[in-house]
Amino acid sequence: MLAVVTAERMSGSAMYELVRVGYFELVGEIIRLEGDMATIQVYEETSGVTVGDPVLRTGKPLSVELGPGILGSIFDGIQRPLKDINELTKSIYIPKGVNVPSLSRSQQWDFASSNIKIGSHITGGDLYAIVHENTLVKHKLLLPPRAKGTVTFIAPPGNYTVDDVVLETEFDGERTKYTMLQVWPVRQPRPVTEKLPANYPLLCGQRVLDSLFPCVQGGTTAIPGAFGCGKTVISQSLSKYSNSDVIIYVGCGERGNEMSEVLRDFPELTVEIEGVTESIMKRTALVANTSNMPVAAREASIYTGITLSEYFRDMGYNVSMMADSTSRWAEALREISVVWYCELLYQTVTGGWSVSVDLFFFSGYPAYLGARLASFYERAGRVKCLGNPDREGSVSIVGAVSPPGGDFSDPVTSATLGIVQVFWGLDKKLAQRKHFPSINWLISYSKYMRALDDFYEKNYPEFVPLRTKVKEILQEEEDLSEIVQLVGKASLAESDKITLEVAKLLKDDFLQQN
DSSP string, 270-328: EEEETTEEEEGGGGEEEEEE-TTS-THHHHHHHHHHHHHHHHHHTTT-EEEEEEETHHH
In the chain, the number of structural domains is 4
Closest by Cα among 371, 374, 392 to 383: 392
Among candidate residues 180, 214, 230, the one where a domain is terminated: 180
Beta strand ranges found along 13-54 (DSSP E)? 17-21, 26-34, 37-42
Domain boundary among 395, 412, 447: 447
SS3 assignment, position 23: coil
Amino acid letter, 47: S
Averaged confidence pLDDT in the chain: 90
CA 18 to chain centre: 22
Neighbour tally for 69: CB within 10 Å: 24
Between CA 170 and CA 168 the distance in angstroms is 7
Tell me, yes or no, whether 55 lies in a domain.
yes
What is residue 436's three-state secondary structure? Answer: coil
pLDDT tens digits for 375-393?
999 999 999 999 999 999 9
19 domain-assigned: yes
State the residue range of the domain holding 245: 194-328+380-447
Q: Is residue 456 part of a domain?
A: no
Please give the full DSSP string across 238-250, using - where no structure is assigned.
HHHH-S-SEEEEE
In a shared domain, residues 113 and 166: yes
Give the pLDDT confidence of 425-454 residue by residue, as tens digits. Answer: 999 999 999 899 999 999 999 999 999 999
Judge if 198 and 176 occupy the same domain.
Answer: no
For residue 113, which phi and psi values (nearest 5 degrees)?
-70, 155
- Domain with residue 312: its CATH number is 3.40.50.300
Same domain, 199 and 176: no
Residue at 86 is within a domain: no
70 in a domain, yes or no? no
**211 and 257 share one domain:** yes
Residue 290 is assigned to a structural domain of this protein: yes
N-term to C-term CA, the chain: 42
| Cβ contact 503:496 at 8 Å | no
Looking at the fold, whether 240 and 312 belong to one and the same domain comes out as yes
Asked whether residue 98 is assigned to any structural domain, the reply reads no
Q: Are 412 and 271 in the same domain?
A: yes
Residue-wise pLDDT tens for the chain (514 aa)? Answer: 457 899 999 999 999 999 999 999 999 999 889 889 999 989 888 888 999 999 999 999 999 999 999 999 999 999 999 999 999 998 888 888 888 999 999 999 999 988 889 999 999 999 999 998 888 899 999 999 989 999 999 999 999 999 999 999 999 999 999 999 999 999 999 999 999 999 999 998 899 999 999 999 999 999 998 888 888 788 878 888 899 999 999 988 878 887 888 888 877 888 777 777 888 889 999 998 888 887 778 888 999 999 999 999 999 999 999 998 899 888 888 877 776 666 666 666 666 555 554 445 667 788 889 999 999 999 999 999 999 999 999 999 999 999 988 888 899 999 999 999 999 999 999 999 989 999 999 999 999 999 999 999 999 999 999 999 999 999 999 999 989 988 888 889 999 999 999 999 999 999 998 7
